[in-house]
Amino acid sequence: MTRELHHFIGGRQVAGTSGRFLDVFNPSSGEVQAKTPLASRDEVESAIAAAEKAFPEWSATPAVKRARVMFRFLELVTAEKDALATVLSSEHGKVFEDARGDVQRGLEVIEFACGIPHFMKGEFADNVATGIDVYSMRKPLGVVAGITPFNFPAMIPMWMFGIALACGNTMVIKPSEKDPSVPLRLAELMIEAGAPEGVLNVVNGDKEAVDTLIEDPRVKALAFVGSTPIAKYVYAGAAAQGKRCQAMGGAKNHMVILPDADLDQVVDALIGSAFGSAGERCMANPVAVPVGDELADEIVRRLVPRMAELKIGPSLDPASEMGPLVTAAHRDRVISYIEMGVKEGAKLVVDGRDFRCTAQGYENGFYLGATLFDHVTPDMQSYQDEIFGPVLQIVRAKNFEEAMALPSKHRYGNGTSIFTRDGDAAREYADKVNVGQVGINVPIPVPASFFSFGGWKDSAFGDLNQYGTEGVRFYTELKKVTSRWPTGIRAGAEFHIPTTGQ
């Protein structure tokens, strides 16, 4: 029997009342395994109200006590990591070990959040002028909201609520309706860890829920991760309402490969970063840029047999290296880009459209084989767009400068990598490439939790990045206090602007 999911509002599960539902599939089998309620405006507003009610108590809780809740949450999630990864894998389609990594990367942000007493410290300067001291305090914003994507249903919600709650805010998360079970369980565990009811709420929904979060004046800030068109929509709407917003969009990451690179390492990196999680990562490397035709030919020669050996199957099968895509509709979208690449004149070296899963009971899953294009050119639409699937495109460059120009000129600027043994070339690339996140012999350069995540250009909208110290700044306001205590000396009325020279 198909189970019906709920919202999580005010510390408890709440059944959906809108009458609208969306199927949650098991991508490995193609079967419907649950139904997600799509929240009405009233339901979203009830979650905002619960967060607003919880804010005074939670924001007044000393930072060290909020940190203790985070420590306890860390313990609870760690104890359930395998169970969470199993649910995540069965709803998303990424293989089990990748799902465990999804949970772990989120926990690393929670580990950072456990140190929030340090990061909430302001500054102090005594006697900036005679008898006058100045200090600053970081204050939470109030009710904040997070809108998260289907491809990281554990990591990205923890990116957002880990920092937001540690700073003293209360939050409403709207996860992807495609795989919402893990965010719902994380909210339950946060309450079990000691957060008061209403501190973290989860509402499932679609555009109606998103618009409510954008428009409700009680929501002071929005964080978003997803496609660029929706990121622009959320950012523009939030800005129009005077809200703080960080909106992470799409990507088209390039891996530049110089002739001196370790080609065994390069091929391993391409296989993992292009086809891991079926390419459904904003930090995947779907574009390889070898410098020189000889190098490009050799990389293609090595890739083809490795791709043929790639084990594609049910996400919870320990032998699987790549699982299905999240939905049939998304698989069909990726197939349309493969067809587009063929029509545009790119050379289709490996065609993944013919892949069929033969495992019993999984014949109708949303599978697609790994696909390889060569001789892709920058004018092709299939190169310009984010495909978000297991499709690797090779764009050949004549020299280092031409290779660096490709990611620098592309409208997306999320991430890029360079593979080389030449330290000077690597240093120049990292310094000059017009992209926000760079890997040197690292295929997926996601910064550690104590740094911050965010790209440039059409990959990110807003001045502050996700998690790390940038996240603390995003979820807090800086209050400045200038104080003077009576000293027995009166200077009389002063009609000039105060300066430190007085």
Domain 3-249+459-481 has CATH 3.40.605.10: yes
Q: Which two tokens stand for residue 371?
A: 């696909």
Angle, CA of 56, 60 and 63, to the nearest 5°: 135
Residues 456 and 438: beta-carbon distance below 8 Å: no
Residues 67 and 166: beta-carbon distance below 8 Å: yes
Per-residue confidence (pLDDT) for residue 494, from 0 to 100: 75
Query: If you average pLDDT over residues 133-141, what whole number do you get?
Result: 97
Per-residue confidence (pLDDT) for residue 362, from 0 to 100: 97
pLDDT in tens, 412-428: 999 999 999 999 999 99
Amino acid at residue number 140: P
pLDDT in tens, 9-67: 999 999 999 999 999 999 999 999 999 999 999 999 999 999 999 999 999 999 999 99
pLDDT in tens, 152-205: 999 999 999 999 999 999 999 999 999 999 999 999 999 999 999 999 999 999
Task: Tell me the CA distances in angstroms from 202 to 30, 159, 425, one per residue in order.
Answer: 26, 15, 47
How far apart are alpha carbons 27 and 29 in whole angstroms?
6
pLDDT in tens, 196-243: 999 999 999 999 999 999 999 999 999 999 999 999 999 999 999 999
Q: What is the pTM of this model?
A: 0.95
* Architecture of the domain spanning 254-440: 3-Layer(aba) Sandwich (3.40)
Query: If you average pLDDT over residues 85-97, what whole number do you get?
Result: 98
Domain residue limits, the chain: 3-249+459-481, 254-440
Q: Which two tokens stand for residue 333?
A: 């979208």
- Residue written as token pair 């092709």: 380
pLDDT in tens, 324-359: 999 999 999 999 999 999 999 999 999 999 999 999
Cβ contacts of 187-190, under 8 Å, gap ≥ 24: 187/8, 188/8, 189/73, 189/76, 189/77, 189/80, 190/69, 190/73, 190/161, 190/165
Amino acid at residue number 441: N
Residues 143 and 58: beta-carbon distance below 8 Å: no
Residues 419 and 265: beta-carbon distance below 8 Å: yes
pLDDT above 70: residue 500:
no
pLDDT above 90: residue 489:
no
Q: 475 by DSSP, 3-state: which?
A: coil
The residues that bridge with 4 in the sheet, in sequence order, are 35
How far apart are alpha carbons 104 and 191 in whole angstroms?
20
DSSP one-letter string for 433-458? SS-S-EEES-SS-PPPTTS-B--EET
Task: Tell me the CA distances in angstroms from 452 to 144, 161, 306, 319, 411, one per residue in order.
Answer: 19, 15, 34, 34, 21
- Residue written as token pair 């992470």: 248
Neighbours of 483 (CB within 10 A): 10
Per-residue confidence (pLDDT) for residue 382, from 0 to 100: 98
Per-residue confidence (pLDDT) for residue 59, from 0 to 100: 98
How far apart are alpha carbons 143 and 165 in whole angstroms?
10
pLDDT in tens, 288-329: 999 999 999 999 999 999 999 999 999 999 999 999 999 999
The closest of 182, 118, 116 to 150, measured between CA atoms, is: 182
Let me know if 114 is a catalytic residue.
no
DSSP one-letter string for 347-386? EEEE-GGG----STT-TTS-----EEEES--TT-HHHHS-
**Length of the chain, in residues:** 502
**% residues pLDDT > 90 (the chain):** 95
pLDDT above 80: residue 389:
yes
Q: Who contacts 395 (Cβ-Cβ below 8 Å, separation ≥6)?
A: 254, 287, 288, 289, 376, 377, 378, 383, 406
Q: Who contacts 396 (Cβ-Cβ below 8 Å, separation ≥6)?
A: 289, 290, 292, 293, 296, 374, 375
The closest of 282, 338, 276 to 310, measured between CA atoms, is: 276
How far apart are alpha carbons 385 and 382 in whole angstroms?
6
pLDDT above 90: residue 431:
yes
How far apart are alpha carbons 15 and 365 in whole angstroms?
29
How far apart are alpha carbons 293 and 428 in whole angstroms?
23
pLDDT above 60: residue 258:
yes
The closest of 279, 411, 270, 395 to 335, measured between CA atoms, is: 279
Set 114, 167, 245, 282: catalytic member? 282
SS3 content of the chain, % helix, strand, coil (to 5): 40, 20, 40
Q: 394 by DSSP, 3-state: which?
A: strand
Which alpha helices (DSSP H) does 179-247 contain, by range?
Answer: 181-192, 207-215, 228-240
